[in-house]
Structure 1
Amino acid sequence: MCPHSTAGPDGFSAHFFQCCWEIIGQDLYGAVLDFLSGSTPPKNFTTTTIVLIPKIEAPSTWKDFRPISLCNVTGKILSKVINNQMAKLLPKIISPSQSDFVQGRMISDNILLAQELSHCLGKNGSLSNTIFKLDMEKAYDRVNWTFLYHMLVRVGFPTHWINMIKKLIENCWFSILINGEGVGFFKSTRGLRQGDPLSPTLFVIAAECLSRGLDWLFQQQPRMNFFARSSKNISHLAFADDIIIFSKGTRKDLKTLIEFLRHYELISGQRINKEKSSFTVDKKTSNMRIRCIQQVTGFRLKYLPITYLGAPLFKGNKKGALFDELIQKIRNKITGWEKALLSHGGRLQLIKSVLSAMPTYLLQVLKPKYVMERIERLFNKFLWGNTGSHPVPAKLSYIASPNWKRMCRHRKEADKQIFWSLGKGHISFWFDNWIGEKPLFEILPYFEWNTTPVNNYWENNSWNIAKLREVLTADMVHQICQIPFDVDTSDTPLWKLSGDGIFSMKATWNSLRQTRATQQLVKEIWSPFVTPTMSVFMWRLINDKLPVDEKLQKKGIQLASKCSCYNHVESLQHVFIEGNGIRCVWEHFAKKFNMHLPNTDNIVLLLNYWRISALGQNHIRMIVPMLILWFGWLERNDVKHRNKNFNSERIKWKVHQHIVTTFKSKTTKRINWKGDRFVAKSMGLELGSQYKPKIKIVKWTKPELGWIKINTDGASKGNPGRAGAGGIARDEEGAVILAFYEVLGETNNTFAEVFALFKALQLCQTENIPRIWIEVDANCILHLVQQSEKAHWPLKHMLTHIRLMLKKVEYKITHIYREGNKAADYLANLACSTNSSKLLRGEEIQGQLCSAAAARLHFAATVRCSAAAFMVMQIAVSVLLLPQVCSCFFAAAAANAFLQLQLASLLLLLCSCHSAACFNGAAAATTSKRRYSDEDSSQFREFPKPLLSFCQNHGTVTAAAFHCNDLAFTAAMPLVVVAAASNFRGHLCEDDPSHFRNPIMASSFFCLWESQTQPGRGFSASYCFCFCCKPKKAATAAAAAVQPQLLSCPQADHGCKSTTEGYGYLGQNHGTVTAAAFRCNDLAFTAAMPLVVVAAASNFRGHLCKDDSPHFRNSW
């Protein structure tokens, strides 16, 4: 919703709601849910102010005004929620003749069709052809509510949905804004509010009665059809209330049409304005026929050219005179600006505003060469002075239907870009391009080419291989058999140059034009955080277009040149970098940002230096140098033309004020200061609390009974690059049925993802699996599969195959984060790394996973990892997987002194533990990275049922028997006690020990970490292992492991209220570390931390990252 749209009666604009969302968001969200649940919205939600906008320059009657409704944002939100859902259905509900407010349909389509049909007036004996242009009087205000509800029922909307719409349009109270004050407070009994997001959709549905009625009428009375060259009859075109009807002009046909229109007026509440409605016939039509039409209809006669949707309809070639009104409007606006002394940036902004106010679609559809030259000349002259345009010469057609002739002129080039997606197979087998490269007659020198359709080579909804082999080679037959088709759909032409296969001028132009490599610096100068004037100035500076003295001298202008410091020629380098005054400005801001200026006089290099140091696009470090250059230029102009003294402090102050102003106006946001919050603080800007990411718990879940869950993924190294696809299928118990990985060669991620799903469905079809739950980690795959209208055309065949296979089974398809899709991700990457393909079943899968774990452990053992993280990994792998995995670590430890301590600690730990089952739970909980996941339980499925010896089902966890749905453990933790104690749900909050389902068991095993500072060595570590017999002692020991330095410094402020209070509270809660004992609001656990209980009892508000200790507010 546009933040700057006009507010409703309550005075709150959308900008207010966006800025204060943290305060009011939950309340508004609850109100929307109440409305969707059936409640009537409060009166103040739908209260509306009516503003009367004059249609003409000197309005004198109420008809000369257009009522626009100013709705409250709360009411707009309710309407927009309903409208967003209904808009998805409009393409299926609304007939093709109506193109307004329907996704995928454009106003230019109506203009082109109307233009083509207007050429058929008076041709080939079609003097009876007549075009009727209808004008509906107050179309929105006259909609009958009863008729609207009936239409909603007829198109299939359910009762509860219609009731919600009733509450939005019937529960409205209006006031009229006169001279700035609201007058009256009343309800209405009909009509739709112009300004309500839902009104256009409802109006189009109500007007659908007219469209379908006209189509039905012309089908029942074929004699009424407009005589045209095309085989398809077009009865009318509609764009909201702009309706144009194409019919015969005989008296009988006219009476039938007018009777139908009167009946539509009676039931819908609409009224045709006969004074503004008109009919058009050929100039050769007899006066008798014209009088007959006038008597029956009451409409006025208008000859071509006429105006439809702002565009002229005419016969023959485009005439410049038809566009004189448009040219005059542009000239009138520019004339008033030429007298003002505007900068180039100001002129550019005005030109943009003029173009946006003009009907740009008119120039996209109808672009006469002469008119375009005149418009370009006007804008060029206004922007640059006397600069004119030099368009490429192009001949125009001088025969009928110039649009069609101009398109046919480029037929050879266009044919190469048209590709057919097979449906019913009515296209030509030889002469249409449906195999992807070129038509078959260009590929194979066959002597019996004919117009045989493609479906002639089908049999029982599949390819007739025997018949194909009669005319094609074996390779071509194999290629064609891979092409799917759906006999329930029509053959669809696709445009190769656009991603979705739909023709667009933008995609075509981008493929034809020659472009230079994009310069990132040039993109950055057009930042929304600087004015257009500044952007134009930066563009001129980078391209060496500023009129400094040195530049003027090179142009032959003789003048004495001195800089403001009186000891150097005025050049770009001196004005913006080398001058004493400007140099101290650069140094001032470099010091603010803790930067060292490079020793260069090149402005582009200096800007790139600041740009590279910025953390993201539109960062403050990219804005500051542009402001320095801009205000430095203004200071130079003041010195040169106003005889002022150069003042560097004034430049600093202006830069500072601009930054403050943009921040207060919400132009710059907190993210633009990433990494430089201290600079904002020094400028007195309050950025608010640091962003605290919300933790999302990701977990692979088993399918329901009788269902098979398929996880698929694709990977491309380089995108595009070497690619692979992988997938795994598991049953309701988590048991793996099959898995696969397949190498795909050079392609992109999207193709790999789609192919992985395609391959998985093929395997399911082979295995006769009737119920499938598909889980993918790419949202784009869901959209491609579920939305058949638009898709990337190279994937069209594969997606068609996927949809056909899905029709044969019961299925559901959902999205899961990558952390919950680890098994499929591993298989896809395995295909890339090994450059091989394989189908795995049963024990092959377990062996493959164990081999992968061993390989990863060998890699980790050769790298100096953090001691705590490395030890946890060894525990997890050595206990859970196979003995040969540990051998990799032992071999690496023998050659690495650093790892010997880890090996000794590992052996001690394994020998001291009561039961290896506790380590099962520890390792099972260590599968997360940035999000938490215990997915891929198949890797741990084959362990003994063992947890009984440890805790008798009191919370010990493995990935196979994990009933902890909201686990939030980290891979950084030696999770021994945690695994036994937890089975908890969510984060622990202050005074909330209930989050632990079971208290820590008396036999729990703790691995504590002691840290102490030694001179010259920093921190060194040793391991201490102890058994705790009682829960309170165990909790105290855990707390000691959290902040060991507090033992020697009880009053140190490390986030606890006090050591004694914190530990006492901790002990009383049987191991629950609460916010009272551990207040670290911005905690972000890292792999470098030996956190035992802390991570389990987190109440943390951060994210996990490896060796990223700066994320801790307090370092211990």
Structure 2
Amino acid sequence: RFENMASISLDERDWLERNFEEEEIHATIKACAPDKAPDGLFFKRHGIKKGAIELKDYRPISLIGSVYKLTAKILAERLKSAIGKLVSGYQNAFVKGRQISDAVLIANEVLDWKQKSGDAGLFKLDIEKAFDKLNWAYLFTILRRMGFGNRWTRWIKYSLTTVKYSVLINGGPVGFFSPQKGLRQGDPLSPFLFILAMEGLGKMLQKACQLQWIEGFKVGSPTGNNVTVSHLLYADDTLLFCGADRSQVIKLNLILHIFEAVCRLHTNMSKSTTYPVNSVQNLVELAGIMCCNIGSFPTTYLGLPLGVNFKGKEIWSGIIEKFEKRLATWQMQYLSFGGRVTLINSVMDSIPTYHMSLFPIPAKVLEKLNRMRRNFLWEGNSKDHNFHLVKWAKVTQPKSQGGCGYGTEDIGLWKEVIKAKHGELTHWSTNVSADAYGVGLWKSISKLWPDFAGNVTFRVGNGSHIKFWKDIWLGDTTLGEEFPSLHLIAAEPNSTIASNRSDDIWDLRFRRNLNDWELNDIFALFAKLQPFSFSPQEPDRLKWGNSRKGHYTVKEGYHSLCSRNSMIDKWSWKHIWKTKLPTKVICFSWTALHNSCLSQDNISKRKFQLVNRCYFCHKHTESVNHLLLHCPAASDLWNMFCCFFGLSWVMPFSVRDALERWSSRDVDKAIKTLPSMFFGSSCEKLSPRFFSPYKIVRRAGPLAYELELPASSKVHLIFHVSLLHSAHGQQVVIAPAPLPLIEDWNSPYLLPTFLRIDGSKKLVLLLWNC
């Protein structure tokens, strides 16, 4: 019998078993991924073991029909809302609010404590084909013990018993048969049903700890705040914590055999491992009782290091190796700058993210990864050293701040473990541990608290955890900073808001009577406190200051750190990164905004000796601003644009000013992208060796065509000469004539010419008069 099993209430049971509603079905269909049923192909590959010989090497795959899949998804969404109440904190998979990193953090912190307090054993188990062997009778028993009704149980039974399998022999199916156990692969319900079934093992282990059959790992003071961790489950990834005692291991082995007999989940001991904690003299004997392998620390759990010095570089060797393999493949291809930007953003930056969710990256490892990213960005597959045009510190800023965007809960078992191990400084943070055991992950994480606390304010509920004088809860500063004279004489400077209230009125206490000159401060303080309202039934919460909803996310925290470490850029960089232009054009515009293109003045800064003179006008020195704005050739083209749009224009000094003013004009979004289009298309290479006047017009054409401006627009699209040969069989008539909008146009560089295609469109061809 499973005792102390959590159960749902009668109201929750009725809610789970209610009839299906049209809105619920519609929402479920909308929530399906685009490539999944009911309107897509979702089957990609069959589950087959490499080198399969026997039937057991093949994984049964359920090709689920659309109607059943929608039904199962609705039931899974309902079950998801109740499963957090039914599953203990020792399980972290498929429960809202719990993360895979929680299990790794708990395992490392518990192991770190045990390594300083005595010998023990840790067992990492492999459950063989967990989904395929689960006993249905056991599952239905668990559901009934958790309070699920008959109707819900019938629904689950129907979803399991209607499956039929067939075996392919010589390429064709040979009959059908029904399974007697197991869960469907690919069924939305299966993960939730499995963790409910694993809750039985958890209750057996907890009962064994209560009966002192096994010890588990006890964290914290023996006489004070402590918590015992006997196991950690993440789906079928299982860790068991036990004392290094023969009798305990025998009883642990007995529990596993009883659980296997009840639910048919077999533990493959040939793939399971025992790890000694400290010096275990009888390790071989303990491994023989369990019939498992012997391992040693460091090892891995859920893909992250376990029992390792988190400051060491060895845990990052796999990440560096993945970087090198990716780069070796990409460097064999001819990728544009824009393509390399996309690959770094979407692939390389995501590789170390999982490790960095818990482990601080060493400075030398970060420097090496940055060097690999930096060299790939600016050099690509070139074996020669190319110029790195923009400082890496600028490149790694978020796109909103002018960079490329490269990244350099109240109840939970993890929180109980941390509080027991390190102690609680406030409701929001732990003590800074300096003891011998304080070498775990949390010590490194807790060092970030000052940075985090500087960006939060407090949302007052019952006021039991927020400090009256020292926390920011009323206004933009603490009351202690706003009223320092009163704070100095407060009877309890560290008191909470709730302790300063009595019978719903303010009851402030001071060490002495107030002087006359302090009365104004106390009147001002009470005037500020008077309109404040409380929510006695709600707990106090933290509010992230930089978020509109007050919720903290990793993205918000990252942007906060970046803005703190750099100058605030008020210009909206979305006018560059959010435009529907080719990536190469966007990247060039970004480089030009940083004044880092290879103009002759920038080349001379790199200690090259050359005569700095503009290739066009031969009158001025060549700079980014001159080539793109102030050279007569560029200026004529800018004036041409302004005439098209009927705009008055005074040429700004810098590219940055030009884009800022152009983007602030009240014109169509497509028109706002024309400066970027002009920059990127005309100045692919600023060096005179690669730059020709004809190239400006030739490359500007297809970019403007991609904007797909409406026919009613006053904008005349700019096409290049190759249009004459790619009109898809249409007759093209070239009619040189002055434009009506610019009859007085007189430029030594540009000659406007009309193009007509079937008489239906007017196009403009800008030819260089040279």
Structure 2 length-normalised TM: 0.64
| 2:698 equivalent in structure 1 | 650
| 2:268 equivalent in structure 1 | 273
| 1:526 equivalent in structure 2 | 577
| 1:235 equivalent in structure 2 | 230
1:3-56 Cα distance to aligned partner (Å, 9 max, x none): xxxxxxxxxxxxxxxxxxxxxxxxx989947999xxxxxx98999746136788
**Separation in 2, partners of 1:178, 1:558:** 76
**How large is the RMSD of aligned CA atoms in angstroms?**
5.4
1:699-754 Cα distance to aligned partner (Å, 9 max, x none): xxxxxxxxxxxxxxxxxxxxxxxxxxxxxxxxxxxxxxxxxxxxxxxxxxxxxxxx
Gaps of 5+ in 1: 1-27, 37-42, 661-672, 684-1116
Q: 1:450 to 1:264 in 2, by over 3 A?
A: farther
Q: 1:477 to 1:590 in 2, by over 3 A?
A: closer
| 2:624 equivalent in structure 1 | 572
1:495-546 Cα distance to aligned partner (Å, 9 max, x none): 6657677776655565562453344442221127345443322210111111
2:237 partner letter: D
Q: 1:497 to 1:102 in 2, by over 3 A?
A: farther
**Separation in 2, partners of 1:275, 1:420:** 53
- CA drift of 1:547 comes to 0.8
Q: What secondary structure, in the 3-state scheme, does the structure 2 residue paired with 1:110 have?
A: helix
Any residues of structure 2 matched to 1:1-80 within 5 Å, and which? 32=25, 49=43, 51-52=45-46, 79-80=72-73
| 2:725 equivalent in structure 1 | none
Q: 1:435 to 1:541 in 2, by over 3 A?
A: closer
| 2:342 equivalent in structure 1 | 349
Any residues of structure 2 matched to 1:270-419 within 5 Å, and which? 270-286=265-281, 288=282, 290-314=283-307, 316=309, 318-338=311-331, 340-355=333-348, 358=351, 360-369=353-362, 370-384=364-378, 400-402=437-439, 403-406=441-444
Q: 1:433 to 1:194 in 2, by over 3 A?
A: farther
| 1:134 equivalent in structure 2 | 125
Between 246-255 and 219-228, the greater mean CA deviation after superposition: 219-228
**Separation in 2, partners of 1:30, 1:453:** 46
- CA drift of 1:285 comes to 0.8
**Separation in 2, partners of 1:68, 1:627:** 51
Q: What secondary structure, in the 3-state scheme, does the structure 1 residue paired with 2:242 have?
A: strand
- CA drift of 1:342 comes to 3.7
Contact 1:116/1:401 (CA < 8 Å) preserved in 2? no
- CA drift of 1:559 comes to 4.2
Contact 1:254/1:296 (CA < 8 Å) preserved in 2? yes
1:337 partner letter: W
Contact 1:100/1:106 (CA < 8 Å) preserved in 2? yes
Any residues of structure 2 matched to 1:156-175 within 5 Å, and which? 156-157=147-148
Contact 2:28/2:70 (CA < 8 Å) preserved in 1? no
**Separation in 2, partners of 1:172, 1:595:** 70
| 2:681 equivalent in structure 1 | 631
Q: 1:398 to 1:588 in 2, by over 3 A?
A: farther
| 1:251 equivalent in structure 2 | 246
| 2:198 equivalent in structure 1 | 207
| 2:768 equivalent in structure 1 | none
1:224 partner letter: E
Contact 1:419/1:494 (CA < 8 Å) preserved in 2? yes
Any residues of structure 2 matched to 1:654-673 within 5 Å, and which? 654-659=702-707
**Separation in 1, partners of 2:451, 2:275:** 37
Contact 1:52/1:177 (CA < 8 Å) preserved in 2? no
1:535 partner letter: I
**Separation in 2, partners of 1:362, 1:233:** 27
**Separation in 2, partners of 1:136, 1:560:** 73
1:835-883 Cα distance to aligned partner (Å, 9 max, x none): xxxxxxxxxxxxxxxxxxxxxxxxxxxxxxxxxxxxxxxxxxxxxxxxx
Q: What secondary structure, in the 3-state scheme, does the structure 1 residue paired with 2:327 have?
A: helix
Q: What secondary structure, in the 3-state scheme, does the structure 1 residue paired with 2:232 have?
A: strand
Q: 1:523 to 1:452 in 2, by over 3 A?
A: closer
- CA drift of 1:140 comes to 3.4
Give the alignment partner of residue 101 of structure 2, picking from 103, 108, 120. 108
2:373 partner letter: F
1:232-269 Cα distance to aligned partner (Å, 9 max, x none): 22222222222222222323322333333333334444
Contact 2:93/2:100 (CA < 8 Å) preserved in 1? yes
- CA drift of 1:174 comes to 7.5
Give the alignment partner of residue 225 of structure 1, picking from 216, 220, 225. 216
**Separation in 2, partners of 1:75, 1:640:** 66
Q: 1:596 to 1:374 in 2, by over 3 A?
A: same
1:540 partner letter: T
- CA drift of 1:434 comes to 11
**Separation in 2, partners of 1:626, 1:78:** 50
**Separation in 2, partners of 1:452, 1:574:** 64
Any residues of structure 2 matched to 1:903-942 within 5 Å, and which? none
Gaps of 5+ in 2: 1-20, 30-36, 380-384, 397-432, 514-521, 718-770
- CA drift of 1:147 comes to 4.5
Contact 1:48/1:70 (CA < 8 Å) preserved in 2? no
Between 140-149 and 232-241, the greater mean CA deviation after superposition: 140-149
Contact 2:487/2:493 (CA < 8 Å) preserved in 1? no
**Separation in 2, partners of 1:54, 1:622:** 54
**Separation in 1, partners of 2:204, 2:526:** 48
**Separation in 2, partners of 1:482, 1:176:** 68
- CA drift of 1:421 comes to 6.5
Q: 1:110 to 1:635 in 2, by over 3 A?
A: same
**Separation in 1, partners of 2:581, 2:152:** 46
**Separation in 1, partners of 2:633, 2:168:** 56
2:260 partner letter: E
**Separation in 2, partners of 1:588, 1:173:** 72
**Separation in 2, partners of 1:573, 1:448:** 64
- CA drift of 1:305 comes to 0.6
1:401 partner letter: G
**Separation in 2, partners of 1:585, 1:176:** 71
Contact 1:49/1:71 (CA < 8 Å) preserved in 2? no
**Separation in 1, partners of 2:640, 2:616:** 19
Contact 2:457/2:473 (CA < 8 Å) preserved in 1? no
**Separation in 1, partners of 2:470, 2:172:** 65
**Separation in 1, partners of 2:292, 2:624:** 69
**Separation in 2, partners of 1:249, 1:355:** 43
**Separation in 2, partners of 1:352, 1:457:** 51
Contact 1:316/1:400 (CA < 8 Å) preserved in 2? no
- CA drift of 1:172 comes to 6.0
Any residues of structure 2 matched to 1:395-474 within 5 Å, and which? 400-402=437-439, 403-406=441-444, 437=478, 463=503
Any residues of structure 2 matched to 1:1029-1068 within 5 Å, and which? none
Structure 1 length-normalised TM: 0.46
**Separation in 1, partners of 2:147, 2:636:** 71
Any residues of structure 2 matched to 1:795-874 within 5 Å, and which? none
**Separation in 2, partners of 1:648, 1:312:** 55
Contact 1:422/1:434 (CA < 8 Å) preserved in 2? no
Larger Rg: 1
Between 239-248 and 647-656, the greater mean CA deviation after superposition: 647-656
**Separation in 1, partners of 2:234, 2:314:** 26
- CA drift of 1:366 comes to 0.7
1:261 partner letter: L
| 2:655 equivalent in structure 1 | 603
